[in-house]
Structure 1
Amino acid sequence: MDRSRTKNVTVFDKSLATRGKSEVNLSTFAFLFSELVQYNHQRVASIPQLQERLAELGQHIGHRMVDVLCWRDRATKRETRLVNMLLFIKNNVWKTLFGKEADSLEQATDVPGTYYLFEEEPLVNTFISVPNDFSGLNCAAFGGGVVEAFLSATQFPAKVQTFWHGKQQNKTAIRIQFEDSVLLREKMMEK
């Protein structure tokens, strides 16, 4: 057999869609994420700084998710419309990362180009215990970082903020404010 003609197929060449179940054990994820939060908590002085660090870590994941979900398999077409991209994040990205779709996606009625992604009980907040002086911490800033990086890498630049929504600290809102260039492009596509 002539080995020069056979191509060595590595794990990086295989499609992710054809692999078997590719879930990470929940307890493993919870342990690693809580260690990540603890490590960063020791290096900041305030809740906003810690949430900013978590968002930065989420951005690294968001950029890689574009490679995995959009470019590597090419099973899905590249979304060019704003709402379709947000639905892709709500459904596909969230399900790939957290095992379920985000709870809801809503458009703001008062500010054009603003959308909200809501999560009832984010997985990243489930297994985190925080000291009393950090009781307002919302680890879902990590998810906000993922969203911001994913949108930026797919040519939908936006400013993303994560905050508690409602009276009790269990529902998270991720506010997505698109840049004017994205809104102008959407208007041009409608014509």
Structure 2
Amino acid sequence: MNLSKIRTRSNILDKPLSRGKGEVSLSCYAFLFSEIVQYCHNRVHTIPELQGRLTEMGKHVGIRLVDIFFVRERDCRREVKVLTIILLMKSTFWLSLFGREADKVEHATDDDTVYFITEKEPLVNKFISIPKDKGSLNCAVFIAGIIEGFLTGCGFPAKVTTHWHNGTTYMIQFDESVIARDKQLEEN
């Protein structure tokens, strides 16, 4: 048997994320996410419970993305500073998930632990119609869960909340230990 004639199979899990664009149609994604929202909605009684469920689902996705992202895209090089992980999220991470960079990143002027990522029109809100009686629902809490799970999996424990402000703003509040570690890295 000639080994040169054996073809290696290409597995979707072996392909880099950056080359995987276009593998899922937008309509398929919209349908799947609307079903996720409907599934969660049928199991809760209030909007905060629904948002909590979507956030938890997003956290599971974010934690799983850590290995995929750093092993396949960055050759196992992990970030150690807060600013670099935030900029990585704004650009490369957002680009891998949503096909474009996040619109804006800001650092809170009065609190060292708080950063904001702003997105004018999150993909998850694009195809969801919200009834008038559920007007405060923001399905972007799913993305907030992804961010929180990703950051926690990278060693940057944080709490991420979603707010309506210039579109949708994700407020990332890092644990004090993360900021202390960051300051210690700067001193050394």
Normalized against structure 2, the TM-score is what? 0.89
Q: Structure 1's 56 and 104: CA in aligned 2 closer, same or farther, altered over 3 A?
A: same
Residues 81-160 of structure 1 mapped to structure 2, 5 A cutoff: 81-160=81-160
Aligned residue pairs total 185
Distance in 1 of aligned mates of 2:151 and 2:18 = 26
Say whether residues 1:172 and 2:157 are aligned partners.
no
Instruction: Spell out the pairing of 1:61-72 with structure 2 (5 A cutoff).
Output: 61-72=61-72
Q: SS state of the match for residue 66, structure 1? A: helix
Matched to 1:88, the amino acid is: L
For structure 1, which runs of at least 5 residues remain unmatched after alignment? none
The answer as to whether partners of 2:90 and 2:104 remain within 8 angstroms in 1 is yes
Q: Is the 8 A contact 1:65 1:93 kept in 2?
A: no
C-alpha RMSD of the superposition: 2.2
Structure 2 residue identity aligned to 1:184: A
| 1:22-41 aligned within 5 A | 22-41=22-41
Q: Report how far residue 42 of structure 1 moved.
A: 1.4
Give the deviation of 1:7 after TM superposition. 10
Alignment CA distance shift 1:92-1:18 (3 Å): closer
Q: Per the alignment, do residues 87 and 11 of structure 1 end up closer, same or farther by CA in structure 2, a change over 3 Å counting? A: same
Gaps of 5+ in 2: none
**Percent sequence identity over matched residues?**
48
By how many angstroms is 1:15 displaced? 3.6
For residue 131 of structure 1, report the CA deviation from its aligned partner: 1.7
TM-score, normalised by the number of residues in structure 1: 0.88
